[in-house]
Structure 1
Amino acid sequence: MGKTNKRKASAVDNHKREIEDSIDRDNTNGSLELTKPDSTEEHVNNLEKQKSLDNVIPNSSKNINETELDKNKTEEQEPIVEQFTPPQSAPPPPEYSFKELGIGKWLIDALRAVEIKTPTEIQRACIKPILQGKDVIGGAKTGSGKTAAFALPILNDLSADPYGVFALILTPTRELAIQIAEQFTVFGKSINLKVSVIVGGLDMMEQALSLSKRPHIIVATPGRLADHINSCSDVINLNKLKYLVLDEADRLLTSTFAPDLSVIMDVVPKTKRTLLFTATITSSVLAYFQRKQKEGKEPFVYLSESETKTVSSLDQSYLLVPSYVKDSYLVQLLRDPQFENKSIMLVVNLDIPRDPDEYIHRVGRTARAGRSGKAITVVTENDINLLKSIEERIGKQLDEYKVSEKEVMTILNKVIAARRVSTMNLIDSGFGEKDKTRAKKKRAQKKLLE
């Protein structure tokens, strides 16, 4: 791997020198300095965050090394939990059909309409326990069918006694929330399923109106749902909620989401069934298992042996670029004629994830349900070690993806000009002020939880 890293770093340096020699300094001086992604926003002291996290994972703050909670530390810390024996996974499931799992004929017909004929491993393992009324922790690689593993039994159950709000699905990103909502809508079309998507970036009033109509399913990000609960709790009636789902639970059960999750947990009934699904099993997810043991109700646990890997149908590669011309390389990458084919699902990591597990989550947005997909990660001279960490985590080396440097040089000035215009438009629209307002709101919320 050492030689590989030197080769990658050297290749980037060569790209950088070639472009520096070709750029007209009079026309581009000062405009090539692209804004680097901000470092993680400085959080409130982790110890304060842990108070909120304890509402979701009791006793999660025990055994914390106080010296590690440095006030100047800006890196987000995963909550440290008590030492305990990890749960034992159920054995691999038999080759059940959807009918043998207990899924109704109407839902099987809906699955066939979208060419889903046989359940995946995680679906075979988890659907029956969910229908039996058990809490479930499911761990499997991204793209293995986890969404259907909880959506199908929820819809099957809902069809027997339809009412709203029946299920609440929480997810860390609005993109994933939209994907989940789309799957619920497709599967539940024949029963006139009502789904409400509650995420940031959309009109609050329209969302409040949607919630007031008591949809069967709510798919939400914690922050926006907590905003609705805090601003007008009468709009959301979760008293009869039957299912609470945490999708990508490893990302939700961290100090970042703790304040918002605390608000939500205060209004959901204790009688709910809780389903946790994730591509990576972390201490926070396992801490939930420990809490359920204390309540005398052990959840069903299934951890796929390949849960940390990415799916084999995913084509993964990296694109080496000089850091200050990333935009031009991105534009040229997206101009590739092969991506005009809508059957090719593509994920581009413009900023390489610092956490390999985050990479697994991101690229999992493609190559789903057995389909092929492509993931390309843009790598600069500063990212070689991060690339190495990802390759070690997924157990394979990424192939190098190349674009025409000649074409990059042709569009360079146009891209720089377009970036300048778009930046000015964002400033004129008050985008920066909105960011400040959201940050101020978050700080105020955290103070209330102290």
Structure 2
Amino acid sequence: MTHSFSQLGLSQHRVECLEALDFKEPTPIQAQTIPLLLEGKDMVGQAQTGTGKTAAFALPILERVDPASGAIQALILTPTRELAVQVRQAIHSFKSDRDLRVLAIYGGQAIDRQISQLRRGVQVVVGTPGRMLDLLSRGELSLAQVQWFVLDEADEMLNMGFIPDVRKILKQIPKERQTAFFSATMPPEIYKLTKQFLNDPVTITVEQPKAAPSRINQIAYKIPRVWARPTVLQAVLELENPASAIIFVRTRRDAANLTQQLQGAGYSADEYHGDLSQGQRERLLGRFRQGQIRWVVATDIAARGIHVDDLTHVINYDLPDSPESYVHRIGRTGRAGNEGTAISLIHPLDLWKLRGIEKHVNQTIPVLPTPTRSQIEAQRIEQLTEEIHGILTGERLASFLPLVSQLGEEYDTSAVAAAALQMAFDRYPAVGEKLDALNSPKPVKKTPPPSPIKRRSSGVASS
């Protein structure tokens, strides 16, 4: 086991740069990958996001790039613009030469600005397939001197339908190059790609990260009926009261609809998905990190650009299709030594997915019953009590005392306090009645007794 970056073959000034960034020990993917890439080998790294793979390929590239040349020497392909920006920022932090320039190119940003930067000279380009092909077709992106190519999150490229674009780009890069693919899984299509474009690659597989029980508390709540999912989510949010949370949904439409429902109920929430412009996403993330928004409703692919160290909760509004995606989702909480909570909403039809997840993370995830109205109200009273304790020690309390004295001439002061509490309590979103209806036994539809058969009159009078 390698315990320091200095043992991996990196230059001393690179190691000092990492120490300044508080990088103390290499992760398993870094320890295995960096020496091989420094030797010039092609490789396939099978590792999840969050294992440190960006540094695993970025550090060897930075060791070899020539800042004196204005030509593009390294090309890194990512499936989303969020990931492109994230990788670019990471590489920029690792570089120790001011003359070395790293550029992220992606859709949603003015192409003229990217063209201008390319013309000034860039050594490392990180980008998405669509924008790269656009710039290639315009003759503004020259790959003639690329010596290193990295395909990041190859399986996501496949899921998003980008593999044909990846092939087009690879065919425009010199064959005499060093190539690395990184992927969480290895579908047949990606395996075929490695056989076609990599030269005798070394395969590095890092064990998929498991959710640590001491760091991430994993629980699930039961959904008795499919249509009740929004109501159960609202109840769970009331009960758990997350300081900050990402709520994962399947589609952009789901994100928009759920956000509208939460905002309509008075919650601090906003949506994050592929239909937003880059500027909208960046502004939303800024507000989220500053605590101006408590909860973000996001799709999996868009959420790859969300990184918040003190995120308290991850909520699976819908379970993902693969256990690996589940681990990737919940790994966004419990970071930097903090504890986190992962909550999943489970309908009986989802139990088979849950069992697969439990097997993958090697632990049982308790499924709790749907929250009740009494639980929600008890939680609200507890929250109000804490808020009142804080107000009683605050400075603004004195400005309200004359009003209490005035009302006290007509009412008992305890009644005045109770009325104020009722006002505060009634401002909470109304979810209690919905829960009552949801938790009550489903009424059995009774079949009415058959009506008596009327005898047809014979028309003959009785004697």
Question: Contact 2:216/2:333 (CA < 8 Å) preserved in 1?
Answer: no
- Distance apart, 1:267 and its partner CA: 2.4
- Which of 310, 314, 319 matches 1:352? 319
- Distance apart, 1:312 and its partner CA: 7.0
Distance 1:209 1:307, change over 3 A: same
- Distance apart, 1:195 and its partner CA: 2.1
- Which of 174, 195, 217 matches 2:81? 174
**2:136 paired residue number:** 229
User: For residues 278-289 of structure 1, what are the structure 2 equivalents within 5 Å?
Assistant: 278-289=183-194
Distance 1:413 1:177, change over 3 A: farther
Q: Deviation digits for residues 427-446 of structure 1, max 9, x if unmatched? A: xxxxxxxxxxxxxxxxxxxx
Distance 1:371 1:189, change over 3 A: farther
Question: Contact 1:143/1:367 (CA < 8 Å) preserved in 2?
Answer: no
Q: Which moved more, 1:309-318 or 1:105-114?
A: 309-318
The 2-side partners of 1:200 and 1:329 are apart by 38
Distance 1:398 1:280, change over 3 A: farther
Q: Deviation digits for residues 219-271 of structure 1, max 9, x if unmatched? A: 222233334334x2x11111111111111222224571123223322322222
The 2-side partners of 1:123 and 1:377 are apart by 31
- Which of 269, 287, 298 matches 2:200? 298
- Distance apart, 1:409 and its partner CA: 9.4
Distance 1:216 1:359, change over 3 A: farther
- Which of 109, 113, 116 matches 1:206? 113
Q: 2:230 is aligned with what amino acid?
A: Y
**1:122 paired residue number:** 29
The SS at the match of 1:317 is strand
Question: Contact 1:141/1:309 (CA < 8 Å) preserved in 2?
Answer: no
Rg bigger for which structure? 2
Q: 1:344 is aligned with what amino acid?
A: D
- Which of 311, 320, 324 matches 2:230? 324
The 2-side partners of 1:298 and 1:178 are apart by 31
Between 1 and 2, higher relative CO (CA 8 Å, sep ≥ 6) is seen in 1
User: For residues 39-50 of structure 1, what are the structure 2 equivalents within 5 Å?
Assistant: none
- The CA RMSD measured in Å over matched residues stands at 3.7
- Distance apart, 1:171 and its partner CA: 2.0
Q: Which moved more, 1:307-316 or 1:169-178?
A: 307-316
- Number of equivalent positions: 314
**2:362 paired residue number:** 395
Distance 1:165 1:353, change over 3 A: same
The 1-side partners of 2:151 and 2:75 are apart by 9
- Which of 345, 355, 366 matches 1:379? 345
Q: 2:352 is aligned with what amino acid?
A: N
Question: Contact 1:328/1:411 (CA < 8 Å) preserved in 2?
Answer: no
User: For residues 87-126 of structure 1, what are the structure 2 equivalents within 5 Å?
Assistant: 94-95=1-2, 97-126=4-33
Question: Contact 1:139/1:277 (CA < 8 Å) preserved in 2?
Answer: yes
**2:286 paired residue number:** none
- Which of 120, 138, 142 matches 2:45? 138
Question: Contact 1:141/1:311 (CA < 8 Å) preserved in 2?
Answer: no
Q: Is 1:264 paired with 2:169? A: yes
Distance 1:331 1:99, change over 3 A: same
The SS at the match of 1:360 is helix
The 1-side partners of 2:27 and 2:213 are apart by 15
The 1-side partners of 2:68 and 2:130 are apart by 30
- Distance apart, 1:169 and its partner CA: 1.5
Q: 2:208 is aligned with what amino acid?
A: E
The TM-score, its normalising length taken from structure 2, stands at 0.58
**1:245 paired residue number:** 150
Distance 1:316 1:199, change over 3 A: farther
Question: Contact 1:313/1:372 (CA < 8 Å) preserved in 2?
Answer: no
The SS at the match of 1:284 is helix
**2:182 paired residue number:** 277
**2:122 paired residue number:** 215
Q: Which moved more, 1:335-344 or 1:251-260?
A: 335-344
The 2-side partners of 1:243 and 1:207 are apart by 21
Q: Deviation digits for residues 118-175 of structure 1, max 9, x if unmatched? A: 2222111111110111111112344222111111111111257654412222222333
**1:13 paired residue number:** none
Question: Contact 1:143/1:311 (CA < 8 Å) preserved in 2?
Answer: no
